[in-house]
């Protein structure tokens, strides 16, 4: 993943994500990347973007995982992070 300003471009082979979908990013050494984000754009089958808070190092390092979320029943977030409502996640 690489960051330009607050926009992060991520590559995940055949990710299957849609604009507006929630995705859990984990395993990055830079903690600002490890949270739930809303997909902002989908460039192609392997590339998508999301907005990160702060200025974490770019490119991100670590063993980074991307998990699409379809339903979320409860979230604990930190200040400034996206805090979806039940309507955002299809409940």
What is the number of residues in the chain? 91
User: In sequence order, what are the beta bridge partners of 36?
Assistant: 24
Cβ neighbours of residue 27 under 8 Å, at least 6 residues apart?
Answer: 34, 62, 63, 64, 65
pLDDT at 26 over 90: yes
Residue-wise pLDDT for 37-82, tens only, equals: 999 999 999 999 999 999 999 999 999 999 998 755 455 555 555 5
Structure confidence at residue 29 (pLDDT):
95
Structure confidence at residue 55 (pLDDT):
93
pTM: 0.75
Residues 89 and 22: beta-carbon distance below 8 Å? yes
- What is the torsion angle, in degrees rounded to the nearest 10, for the CA atoms of residue 80, residue 36, residue 8 and residue 55? 40
In angstroms, the CA 76 to CA 17 distance is 23
């Amino acid at each position: 993943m690489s960051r330009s300003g607050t926009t992060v471009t991520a590559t995940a082979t055949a990710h299957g994500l849609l604009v507006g979908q929630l995705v859990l990013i984990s395993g990055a050494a830079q903690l600002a990347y490890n949270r739930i984000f809303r997909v902002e754009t989908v460039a192609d089958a392997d590339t998508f973007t999301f907005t990160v808070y702060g200025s974490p190092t770019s490119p991100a390092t670590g063993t980074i995982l991307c998990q699409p979320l379809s339903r979320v029943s409860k979230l604990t977030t930190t200040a400034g992070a996206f805090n979806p409502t039940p309507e955002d996640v299809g409940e």
